[in-house]
Amino acid sequence: MHLPPAASWPVGAASAARALVLALLLLGCAMAALFCLLQPWGPAPLVLLLSLVLSAAWAWWGLSQPPRGQLRWDGRCWHWRSGEGEQAVRHVGWVLDWQRLLLLRIALGGQRPLWLWLQSPQMDGPWLALRRALVAQGPGAEKPADSLPD
């Protein structure tokens, strides 16, 4: 098997991710309002509203402070470069793949995994190279990058 060539992508705020979370939040609010209107007032609607508010705040906080850096494939393994320096990535797994919007989960040594939203306005060469490198790892990329066959 031949591995894909080197690729890198800057990671930062993804406006499509914010739009997706906002749409899901509005849908959740509409469903919660409908539920509350159809139920007699009591603990169930209050628990639903509280969980909706808390999950919305948590999601918005996560999107307002996205990890910033650069995800790089050197042709053999993945690297994450941020303000703290460069680290080898143990695992890269994709969670969502909507062609121009990706949600990745990367595991660094001894740290909590990072959730990265990657977005491309167009399907250009660098974006396609990054996607090829991700697909070369297999579905979910649950094996370390350095264990790939040559």
88 beta partners: 79
Contact 89, 25 (CB under 8 A): no
Local structure of 36: helix, strand or coil? helix
Which pLDDT score, from 0 to 100, does residue 82 have? 92
Q: Comparing C-alpha atoms, which of 98, 96, 94, 97 is closest to residue 107?
A: 94
User: How do residues 47-73 score in pLDDT, each as one tens digit?
Assistant: 887 888 888 888 878 778 888 999 999
Is the confidence at residue 78, as pLDDT, over 50?
Answer: yes
pLDDT in tens, 90-146: 999 989 888 898 999 999 987 889 999 898 888 888 999 999 999 887 655 444 444
pLDDT at 45 > cutoff 80: no
Decide: pTM greater than 0.75. Answer: no
Between 17 and 148, the higher pLDDT residue: 17
What is the pLDDT at residue 138?
61
Query: Closest Cα partner for 92 from 79, 101, 111?
Result: 79
Query: What is the Cα–Cα distance from 52 to 32, expressed in whole angstroms?
Result: 8
Record the tokens describing residue 31, joined without a space: 């469903």
Collect all residues with Cβ–Cβ distance below 8 Å to 97 and sequence separation of at least 6: none
